[in-house]
Amino acid sequence: MEYTTLGDTGMEVSRLCLGCMSFGDPDWREWVLDEAESQPIIDRAIDLGINFFDTANMYSTGESERIIGNALEGRREESIVATKVYFQMDEDDPNSGGLSRKTIEQELDASLDRLGMDTVDLYQIHRYDYDTPMEGTLRALDDAVRRGKTRYIGASSMWTHQFADALHTSERLGLDRFATMQNHYNLVYREEEREMLPFCQKEGIGTMPWSPMARGYLTRPHDEVDSTARGASEEYLYEHPYLDGGGPAVNERVEELADEYDASMAQIALAWVLDKEWVDAPIVGTTSVEHLEEAVEALDIDLAESDVEYLEEPYEPVPVSGHE
Ligand SMILES: NC(=O)c1ccc[n+]([C@@H]2O[C@H](COP(=O)([O-])OP(=O)(O)OC[C@H]3O[C@@H](n4cnc5c(N)ncnc54)[C@H](OP(=O)(O)O)[C@@H]3O)[C@@H](O)[C@H]2O)c1
């Protein structure tokens, strides 16, 4: 396994972060694996040297956190555990979502309880909360750091001007600032190259892109996208603009290069993200040990510069996707 420093945190993370959205309760999403099916994947990830795990309170309404907490029992110190807050956990309780101090304090305690941990390494805001001033959110997050409930704080998909304003607010008030950005980035969604990724690079922010294989769209020919349980049922796959802006042409080129490199399409898609200097650790989603092993093997693929250009050429700008 290769390791890299996550932004300016000083923490060494594996170059692949294991996405834990696929672990939890199949009643939440059809393609999600239960604990018995998830455990061997997490064990194998640890065997392969992955030390970085990303979950969220809302994944399977907490079950993902519980599973990863159980799986890491006895190996907590060597793991980097990241979770998130924002989406409403209980439809009858409006304060179980958002980024107020009340929500943050209650939800962080609930996450720690499910994880069976006293502290997480990274606590991230899953989205921007238009109803809560960022200053209040940052003060609550800073207190969480002071209380030892999280070591670092991070953010996820938002506009760059919102993120820049949050960093500025932290500096102005002498509060802990966001150390990481978890954003939407892959070969068929590259809008983050305009502002967010260069900004993060300049500011020493650790980057951990989500859906690096476009939720599976880049792992098989585009006319077979609905051939798996997830492909057939996941609405987000179709809500993202992967089929616009040259997406199918990019997909065909991924397939073509997969043949040339004797690799799978998933590996070429991942190798492209890993090739980008502004990416620290893409968060990979997997539902099998074999796919996980393939992802790790992608670290050994060194794409020729001309092939990177060839893969990128058909892309055209698409509507912003992943935040509002
Ligand atoms: N912050 C946010 O808002 C946000 C949003 C989304 C995700 N995330 C994080 O990012 C993680 C990854 O997201 P994701 O699952 O959407 O991303 P992804 O890694 O782009 O897609 C994963 C899907 O690709 C397919 N796949 C993966 N490896 C494959 C292989 N070797 N061969 C064939 N197919 C393969 C599988 O789909 P099939 O089952 O269809 O084959 C798998 O479910 C999540 O677990 C979560 O931690 C964060």
- The three-state secondary structure class of 173 is helix
pLDDT given for residue 324 in this prediction: 92
- Amino acid of residue 236: Y
Asked if 301 and 261 count as a contact pair (C-beta separation under 8 A), the reply is yes
Hey, which residues are catalytic here? 59
Whether 65 lines ligand 1, by a CB cut-off of 6 Å, is: no
For residue 245, name the pLDDT band (cuts at 50, 70, 90). Answer: confident
The pLDDT tens digits for 312-321 are 999 999 999 9
Class of domain 3-213+276-302: alpha beta
Q: How far is the CA of 41 from the centre of ligand 1 (A)?
A: 14
Whether 228 lines ligand 1, by a CB cut-off of 6 Å, is: yes
Hey, whose CA ends up nearest to atom 24 of ligand 1?
216
Separation of alpha carbons 118 and 150, rounded Å: 9
Mutate to test the pocket of ligand 1, among 42, 53, 187, 213 (most ligand atoms within 8 A of CB): 213
Q: How far is the CA of 104 from the centre of ligand 1 (A)?
A: 26
Whole-prediction pTM: 0.97
For residue 230, name the pLDDT band (cuts at 50, 70, 90). Answer: confident
The pLDDT tens digits for 144-193 are 999 999 999 999 999 999 999 999 999 999 999 999 999 999 999 999 99
Residue 295 CA: nearest ligand 1 atom is 31
Who contacts 92 (Cβ-Cβ below 8 Å, separation ≥6)? Answer: none
- The three-state secondary structure class of 33 is strand
Q: How far is the CA of 213 from the centre of ligand 1 (A)?
A: 6
Strand order in the sheet with 283-284: 206-207, 180-182, 150-156, 120-125, 80-85, 52-54, 17-19, 283-284
Of 251, 292, 286, which Cα lies nearest the Cα of 272? 251
Mutate to test the pocket of ligand 1, among 284, 289, 297 (most ligand atoms within 8 A of CB): 284
The pLDDT tens digits for 22-70 are 999 999 999 999 999 999 999 999 999 999 999 999 999 999 999 999 9
- Amino acid of residue 178: F
Asked if 261 and 300 count as a contact pair (C-beta separation under 8 A), the reply is no
Q: How far is the CA of 95 from the centre of ligand 1 (A)?
A: 29
| Beta-carbon count within 10 A of 10 CB | 9
Whether 60 lines ligand 1, by a CB cut-off of 6 Å, is: no
Average pLDDT, the chain: 97
| Beta-carbon count within 10 A of 243 CB | 16
Q: How far is the CA of 19 from the centre of ligand 1 (A)?
A: 7
Residue 230 CA: nearest ligand 1 atom is 40
Q: What is the DSSP string of 189-244?
A: B-GGGTTHHHHHHHHT-EE--B-TTGGGGGGS-GGGTTSSHHHHH-HHHHHSGGGS
**124: alpha, beta or left? (left if phi > 0; alpha if psi -120 to 50):** beta
Whether 156 lines ligand 1, by a CB cut-off of 6 Å, is: yes
Whether 64 lines ligand 1, by a CB cut-off of 6 Å, is: no
